[in-house]
Structure 1
Amino acid sequence: MSETMSVAAASKAPGAKEGGAPRQHYWRGLHVPFIAPWSGESMPLGTIVRRPGPEGDGIAYADEYGRADRRHGVLWLRAGVTRGRGKPFFAEVHALRQRQAMAHLLCQVCGTSTFGRDDERHLFLVQGEEGPIAEGEKTTSPPICEPCAHESLRSCPHLRKGATAALVGYTPYWGVAGIVYDPITLTPILSDERDGLTLVGFDDPLIRWTLAARSVITLNECTTVDLELELTTVQRKLS
């Protein structure tokens, strides 16, 4: 499966700059990222069952509800949509808003469109990378606009320890990151990854047994950038 978003379509996407920025939220002086979940958005997982499908058996919700629970044939983790209610979880990711940010190339922090550069590229910031972002590298991290990249470097202790930036020209979908269920026992299979999620490609038969929590794209036509220099250039243009 491969999907891209045109400039015209992106201008109609939620968070596109033409329609104004989404409401920004702050918590104890910190800017809460668009993709961060809030305590008021928690939802019960739902009962996982086995169900036949066009490509064979796979998992489903016992009370599954069409496009609200499944995208492109993949079952998705349920998430509430009451952004700003309760307490934010900075270290976690809201499944639906991450998927929206990937689909429409929205900034992961402010939620606005990252289209608009003269070179028609998008800035991606990867935490803790050693060396440049590799061509075709997989990521669950949405793009980020230059002002938010500058703000994040100042305020995020993890990014201050090290991050790599690249301007990216092409971001096709690769698959999802999620919880894989055993086809026999329907119990979750433990992942070795820090976030507990397994990367599963759309062409992998395990996709039918995966409860998706993140969209995964690949980064192509990458140009590594000096982030400090890039941000200085942007600031000069705005001044």
Structure 2
Amino acid sequence: MNLIKKFKEDKHLLIILVLHLILAACHLTFNLFSDIQYHAEFRAAGCILIALFIFLFGRRGMSYGFLIYACALIYLNMFYNYGTIFFLLIAYGAYPKIKWPAVIIYALNVFVSFSLKKLIPIAVLIHFIYLGLFVLITISIYKVKPSKTLKLKEDEIYILNELKAGKLQKEVERYSQQSVTAKLKNARERNMIESTSELLAIYSKESDTEL
């Protein structure tokens, strides 16, 4: 039931999930009827992984899925194939909180991959210069950053006002404790916030500023 609500609230996420499943099927079908070798099974597995993570964890899962896929592709693609950087930027854009962990994990995999391929150091430098360029271009053009204000529904605002007044989740009127927990989880995922306490703190600050 929560999954249905999640995808109703974020229809783009559902479309991305479905397209990845279709893409996985296309990769496998192409592999059956073509002699071109481009690691179709691996790419299909990556698409299925991303779809699975979206299904299980929502937008945060999409971020994790693309990060894993980007790091795995480093070992498959040549150093001048920058699709991996694009996937890294998707991971960051989908869940900005993993920005630095994602960059560090990606960088470590680049060093390991380039060492295994015995590439000269200039190849690593070229790759990281492109990484820096892609990040700067993406930020300047598409403004990849979290929203400055919370995106909340009326029922979520009501619950947060109750919590702000000092009530426990089980003491919130109108909704059962289970419903309160589910609604707060939806609000956290939509706003890319880890904990309810952080969500409440941000909401309290915003509401106090408006007064």
Shorter chain as denominator, the TM-score bin is under 0.3
As a proportion of its length, which structure holds more strand?
1
Q: Which structure would you say has the larger RCO, counting Cα contacts within 8 Å and 6 or more residues apart?
A: 1
Structure whose residues are more often helix by fraction:
2
Larger Rg: 2
**TM (normalized to structure 2)?**
0.25
TM-score (norm 1): 0.23
